[in-house]
């Protein structure tokens, strides 16, 4: 759709809102005050480039929502000299009681909010950082797949009334051999159960290969020193250190420590009105995996660091054990940031 009466001068900035889907993209182009174009196009860079080429000579800025389509479109736009903002869908302002949602409306809203400067941006890692991050994310996916397979095996045993003492934590080789020795006395059932065991064995081998790949990455010049720094913290090993580094990358991009805590979701929620202020649970937004690593490491830390143990005990008396260990995890995260910035290992606190 074009506006027939408006002549755009080359001095005017244009704002492009793109609503992405697998087959079709809806694109809206507007000035600060007026919409110039809004239409559905084939979901390809070539089709979008043809539309944007009509406005050559103008300063363009584009936006689309983060998610399924990653950052490839962002890279293409930036390579063509068009600044692109990738915005988190959860932080796009919503109209109260508006129950009409279409691709065109979404595209127009993105362009309008971009023009008004009302959108937040996600951090866009470099192409190399994305490739490195995928190493740890693939390992995480494989571990989740294996856990699902373990759950299916356990459910199968319960369903058929087979009682087998399960080890705590990871399954041992001896336990797996016990599973392989189970005899159902029926060929059809036996073959079906064996597929589950084969799947578990295959995923275990894949996890071992991916772990080896992750360790190789940790030994490269880009990560080796930072991994050694993080490993000086009790409870942080090579895998945990790489999880933290690959998801956070350069911590200097967080200008203040509180920004990092908010990014990981370790900032308390707040409910305030007039003179009443109530602090709630942590926001829980952001990186669930990183929070789990930090909390697990914190349990180890309070057994080694007397200063942190005393802080945990003080908070536990006032607010309970769960809030206390989360507070330790937040403190640990902020210390990790400072350690990486200063390139120094962990320093233990003495008891008061």
Do 250 and 311 sit in the same domain of this protein? yes
Of 187, 218, 249, which closes a domain?
218
CA atoms of 215 and 209, how far apart (whole Å): 10
49, part of any domain: yes
The pLDDT assigned to 277 comes to 47
In this prediction, residue 276 carries a pLDDT of 55
169 and 228 inside one domain: no
In the chain, how many domains are there?
3
Strands 13-20 and 59-65: parallel
**Could you give the CA distance from residue 8 to residue 5 in angstroms, rounded to a whole number?**
10
Domain boundary among 162, 183, 218: 218
Same domain, 30 and 97: yes
Query: Are 333 and 309 members of one domain?
Result: yes
What is the C-alpha separation between 73 and 79, in angstroms, rounded?
Answer: 10
Residue 350 domain-assigned? no
How much is the pLDDT for 73?
A: 97
Whether residue 5 is contained in a domain is answered as no
CATH, residue 26: 3.30.420.10
Q: Which domain holds residue 152?
A: 127-218
In a domain? residue 337: yes
In order along its 352 residues, the chain shows pLDDT tens digits of 444 445 667 678 999 999 999 999 999 999 998 999 999 999 999 999 999 999 988 999 999 999 999 999 999 999 999 999 999 998 898 877 677 789 999 999 999 999 999 999 999 999 999 999 999 999 999 999 999 999 999 999 999 999 998 888 889 999 999 999 999 999 999 999 999 999 999 999 999 999 999 999 999 999 999 999 999 999 999 999 999 999 999 999 999 999 999 899 887 755 555 555 455 566 666 678 999 999 999 999 999 999 999 999 999 999 899 999 999 999 999 999 999 999 999 998 766 5
Considering the domain architecture, whether residues 111 and 213 belong to the same structural domain is answered as no
Q: Produce one character per residue of 185-213: b if its CB has 16 or more CB atoms within 10 Å, e if not.
A: eeeeeeeebeebeebbeebbebbeebbee
Please identify, among 159, 184, 218, the residue that sits at the C-terminal boundary of a domain: 218
Q: Are residues 207 and 228 in the same domain?
A: no
- Pair (69, 105) in one structural domain: yes
What is the model's pTM? 0.86
Distance CA 301, CA 320 (A): 18
Q: Is residue 4 part of a domain?
A: no
Asked, for residue 194, whether it belongs to a domain, the answer is yes
């Amino acid at each position: 759709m074009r506006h027939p009466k408006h002549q755009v001068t080359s001095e005017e900035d244009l704002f492009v809102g793109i609503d992405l889907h697998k087959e079709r993209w809806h694109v809206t182009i507007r000035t600060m005050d007026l919409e110039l174009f809004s239409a559905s196009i084939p979901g390809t860079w070539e089709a979008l480039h043809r539309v944007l080429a009509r406005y050559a000579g103008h300063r363009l800025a584009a936006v689309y929502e983060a998610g399924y389509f990653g950052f490839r479109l962002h890279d293409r736009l930036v390579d063509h000299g068009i600044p692109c903002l990738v915005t988190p869908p959860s932080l796009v302002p919503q109209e109260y009681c508006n129950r009409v949602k279409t691709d065109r409306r979404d595209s127009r809203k993105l362009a309008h909010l971009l023009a008004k400067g009302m959108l937040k941006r996600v951090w866009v890692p470099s192409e190399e950082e994305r490739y490195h991050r995928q190493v740890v994310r693939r390992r995480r996916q494989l571990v989740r797949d294996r856990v699902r397979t373990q759950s299916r095996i356990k459910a199968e045993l319960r369903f058929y009334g087979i009682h087998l003492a399960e080890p705590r934590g990871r399954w041992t080789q001896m336990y797996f051999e016990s599973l392989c020795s189970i005899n159902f006395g029926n060929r059809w059932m036996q073959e079906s159960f064996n597929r589950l065991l084969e799947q578990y064995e295959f995923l275990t081998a894949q996890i071992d290969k991916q772990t080896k790949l992750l360790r190789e990455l940790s030994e490269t010049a880009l990560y080796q020193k930072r991994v050694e720094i993080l490993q000086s913290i009790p409870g942080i090993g090579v895998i945990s250190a790489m999880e933290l580094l690959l998801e956070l990358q350069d911590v200097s991009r967080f200008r203040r420590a509180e920004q990092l805590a908010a990014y990981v979701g370790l900032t308390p929620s707040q409910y305030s009105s007039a003179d009443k202020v109530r602090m709630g649970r942590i926001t829980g937004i952001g990186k669930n995996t990183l929070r789990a690593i930090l909390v697990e490491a914190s349990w180890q830390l309070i057994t080694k660091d007397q200063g942190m143990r005393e802080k945990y005990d003080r908070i536990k008396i006032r607010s309970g054990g769960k809030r206390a260990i989360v507070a330790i995890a937040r403190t640990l995260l902020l210390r990790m940031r400072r350690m990486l910035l200063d390139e120094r290992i962990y320093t233990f606190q003495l008891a008061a």
